[in-house]
Chain A
Amino acid sequence: MASHGGQPSFLERLDRMDRRWIFLAMFVAVAAPILWVGVTGKTFPEAPTPAVQGAFDAVDSLPPGARVLISMDFDPASAGELQPMATAIVRHCVLRGHRICAMTLWPAGGPMIDGTMQDVLGDRPDWKYGEQWVNLGYRAGFEGVMKQMNSRVALAYATDVRKTPLGDIPLMKGIEGIADFDLLVSVSAGYAGAKEWVQYSVSPTLTGPRPLRFVAGSTGVQTPQLIPYYPNQMAGILGAIKGAAEYEFLVNEAVRKADPNAVVPAKFQEAQRRMAPQLFGHVLMVALIVLGNVVFVGLRGREARA
């Protein structure tokens, strides 16, 4: 295959390129925009898709004091994609005055709840535990937990994480089954998560007197599996970091609309800040695919001529 007196051609050298060069290119493509965003604080404008707008409207249209059950079904592995989403949704609920009941079906999901609530409520001492928000924590059983919560939440969760019986928690007064919540939100990275919530908890209520409204946020890999459920079983979907950035944009726009002088902290722009590294990462991927195919076609053409 060597040409020009045994010296490998340019195409051949490209074909045998050490993959560490590709790793370095990806590192630069991601790191440089992160630094740029960190220094300038600039983000790209977002144009919300209907699915994200649907999710935003589902939260926004609830009256203040509405009770929202948020299941954070993810762990640190997917926090890069899902944490900004969870933060944006919780923040939106807090801004609208909704009461939040948080839970998780993932063993490592408990600290994700703590981190999110700390991020959003850290500077809101007026937001009282037990009245405006409650943390039910983790419960083993996946869809088994969902089925129990359908009939009685207390069957799955006798107490919250602080060992307070559910009946003694003001926020939980009047909550019997899951349909008593005004909205269900699942931020999920896989099983058990948004898809199971649709199948086991949301769908059975759709033909009943009190259909449960549902919004999901998911990783890019899982999103295509959820799209068929929108808009009938789901009011909206946030797909991957792009969906999170669109949602965050809508929440921040609402904040700025209410107060033009409002300064949005960087922690509430995390998804938007991650769109720049995503952009350059994707552009590099496209460039690598094109380059790989140029090499492939060039070498194949040379083989055909030889």
Chain B
Amino acid sequence: MSRSVAVLVASVAAIAMVLSKFIVPMESAETTVAEWFNAAAAIAFVLGGASLLKMNLLAISARGPGWGYSAVTLLAFLATLGVGLLKVGVAPSVAYPGHRMSGSTDAEGGALWWLYEYAMSPITGTLFAMLAFYVASAAFRAFRAKNAAAMFLLGTAFIVLLGRTYAGVVVTSWIPADMPWVSWLRLENLSAVIMSVFTTAGTRAMIIGIAIGVAATGIKIMIGLDRSYLGAGSGGGNG
């Protein structure tokens, strides 16, 4: 029953969006559905939090491998949620100085701001920066010129890697920049050609392919044939 309702809501919303583009009196339907979407997206955060709680509480109660990580995750989640909801350390806003909760949740000096500035920001930045080390290791062990295609890929990688830095300018600075028939061979120009010609062509092909796929999937969702978005056990699979 609940799945049928979900399918019906999705179909009605999709049909309304399509019709709003073709029938003038229905133009406002697009905005209305967008409002529903925004409300649903906000509620999804609550569902996401509930799901996080459930999964990690289950992991802790099962005492399986790595349950300690779940405990840390829960602790961090609840602490962040708590200081955010209660606006711990947040000064009242200028407009409403008499109301303690009138300040912005993430105002500078507040506990949530402190967590963001001194915990989340350095942690996520560090995780992202660590990619450089793993990519360097992979560069040594995995990028092998085993066949012609791999050699081509490696050659392209060299040009783009060097062409996106000052090394590209230095290495091919002997090629005259004012002679168009040879200047494209300079690494920085060659890199730009690869990006603007080959990458663009490949990406356009993918975008067109994806767009056709999205349109086909959209029609299937609209008529209730595709229920895969309802998750596992939806009974509809992919048509």
Measured CB to CB, the residues of A under 8 A from B are 17, 19, 22-23, 25-27, 30, 44-45, 47, 49, 75-80, 107-108, 110-111, 114, 139-142, 144-145, 147-148, 151-152, 155-156, 161-164, 223-225, 227-228, 239-240, 242, 275, 278-279, 281-286, 288-289, 291-293, 296-297
Contact = CB atoms under 8 A, between A and B. Distances in A.
A228 B207 contact: yes
Contacts of A152: 31
A275 to B, nearest CB: 7
Contacts of A239: 195
Contacts of A282: 161-162, 164-165, 167
10 contacts: A27-B133, A76-B121, A76-B125, A77-B125, A108-B120, A114-B108, A144-B41, A162-B93, A228-B203, A288-B136
A148 B38 contact: yes
A181 B184 CA distance: 38
A275 B165 contact: yes
B161 A227 contact: no
A164 B95 CA distance: 9
Contacts of B122: 76
A227 B199 contact: yes
Q: How large is the interface on B (under 10, 10 to 19, 20 to 34, 35 or more residues)?
A: 35 or more
A246 B13 CA distance: 44
A276 to B, nearest CB: 8
Contacts of B195: 223-224, 227, 239
A113 to B, nearest CB: 10
A275 B35 CA distance: 43
4 nearest A-B residue pairs (beta carbon)? A141-B38, A144-B37, A76-B121, A77-B124
Contacts of B204: 228
Contact of B124 (A27, A75, A240, A293): A75
Interface string B136-149: 11011111110000
Contact of B136 (A23, A80, A139, A161): A23
B125 A285 contact: no
A148 B35 contact: yes
Contacts of A291: 140
A78 B143 contact: no
Contacts of B124: 75-77
A19 to B, nearest CB: 5
Contacts of B117: 111
Contacts of B169: 47
Contacts of B139: 285, 288-289, 292
B30 A147 contact: yes
Contact of A142 (B41, B104, B125, B154): B41
B95 A227 contact: no
A288 to B, nearest CB: 4
B167 A279 contact: yes
Instruction: Give the one of A49, A78, A142, A285 with max B CB within 10 A.
Output: A285
A144 B44 CA distance: 14
A142 B122 CA distance: 25
